Structure 1
Amino acid sequence: MKILVTGTAGFIGSFVAAKLLDRGDEVIGVDNLNDYYDVRLKKARLARLTDRSNYTHVHADLSDRAAIEEVFSKHKPQRVVNLAAQAGVRYAAENPHIYVSSNVTGFLHILEGCRRHGVEHLVFASTSSVYGANTLMPFSEHRSTEHPLTLYAASKKANEQMAHSYAHLYDIPCTGLRFFTVYGPWGRPDMALFLFTKAMLAGEPIKVFNHGRHRRSFTYVDDIAEGVVRTLDAVPDKAVTWNGHAPDPASSGVAPYRIYNIGNEQPVKLLRYIEVLEQCLGRKAEMQLLPMQAGDVPDTEADVSSLIKSVGYRPQVSVETGVANFVRWYRDYYGE
């Protein structure tokens, strides 16, 4: 197939694009290479794709309506995986307009491209952050998510609602994936594992929020990429209504639309995560224990039963294996 993947210089996008290329798909990659974090890392990720004969790169910003329309008009993708977004929960407090421009306006341009050019299936990135004030564990797609706690989460919740409206009005099959704390080689420098590793190798203390009491469904990037590709192949149709009454929040009786959690079913305590990192680095962490940050949640736990039922896949990689793989990559990439 010919597949448009946005965010191919990003962490998850680069892995998804590589997996599609490996199986013989033609990938049109879009990324604006913004400077939210080290552009050199983004270019290094992209370099793993650009020498592949079935990969074409387009330097463009999702918020540029004309540029995105040109991508659809010129390349005519059959399916789309939208992973480009302004990431980072805390960065939104300082730069709110960027989130709306990229995550909301940019997503509208993707939806319009899908509508105008007859795309068979749109898979898009959402986030576990949409669960916000929910405290009932594990988080299930079949429960309401009406109380996001950050602008980032609100922008991704908006994506889910926008996609449903387009699925209903224009019969565009849409699937949203709520990612849970993705980590692994080539990861983002603003994520905890990257920050902890950098500080520990420099002999500096690490900042541990909520006094390390967090539990997270840490999910290895290869597991995420496999789930994205399997979901892309599973084009949704219209579903029955929830209990014969109101629509299920995860699907819809009036639109070809699905929402899935994609994450590790076994949450891990943050202190255990740090312990594994200590073992892999061969040194102890000096921890600066701090209160929980505004907009953060104490725990996440993914119910992935719907993903398993629909595409026959659940994340496989343990944190012990995943963290060790990250440390090997980090030492090699940075020469540490």
Structure 2
Amino acid sequence: MESVASAPGKTILFGEHAVVYNQPAIAAAVDKRAIVTIKDNPKGVTTFRSDDLGFEAELDTRKKTYKLIKGKPGIIRYVLEILNKWHDEHTPIDVKLSLNIPIGSGLGSSAAVTVATLAALYNYTGFPFNKRVLANEAHKIEQSVQGMASPLDTAVSTFGGLVYLSREKEISKFNTDIKSNFVIGYTNKKGNTGQIVKSVKFLKNKHPRILDSIIKTIGKATDEAKDALMTDNNSKLGELMNINQGLLDSLGINTYELSRMIYTARGNGAIGAKITGAGGGGSILALVPKNAEKVFNALKVEDNALIAKITQKGALAKVRE
């Protein structure tokens, strides 16, 4: 028997950092996916491998340890946590990962891998589940590995489409379809999310009256963006992205590389461009209703880029006999 599941990556449209302080956020699933295949392994050992990432490892799912055969461990911690918790029989299996989401680019690769692996394992073991269970358990796995994690990433990877996280931490999917392309630019310089969150907190404690106002304004921009998305108002959405970027800049999370990509995108046709994710490195998101290739090519001169669309397809799973 072979179980196959996939889940999309994500991008944060609005609400970075402010969401930590009980402000809303909007995220969207993108058409780049993690695909996980699980099948019996007759060799008597559990293996985890990925040709896309160039690694292979043998896993001891009971002890939650591994022997690295080649490559870098990285994402293996999430898979090992899942198998330790949910593969009750600990029978030898082969876990294969295909991934077209760049690692460390702020596109939710760990959430996509976590959701896809859980869904594939649930199917493989015959565990009955629905998407709400899947999203909840995937969030618990991310928390175990990272120490702290927002439920937003795993919710987007599970349900697909556009997801709104309210001030009360309630997650809801809203039914609208963005037909415009997004271009995502990302650098080889990776930001440390934990350190960046701490630096924003330090600044907030140092200048509470100013920073409280900025954070609440980011929340208001997120609410306005939700209205723009619901009414398919691309012009307003682009303006709000640029406003949001100015507010994020004031939090001290920007870098030269991110700023360069933002202005390159705007200068080549993007109607809105901003950091997506924690900042300090990582990615920018550009809204490009027309000529996405022009923005893509301009970003590729000095950095990395990909063209993405919002996808309504969340986690998908099936069993092959």
TM-score (norm 1): 0.27
Q: Report the structure, 1 or 2, having the larger strand content.
A: 2
If asked which structure has higher relative contact order (CA below 8 Å, sep 6+), I would say 2
TM-score (norm 2): 0.28
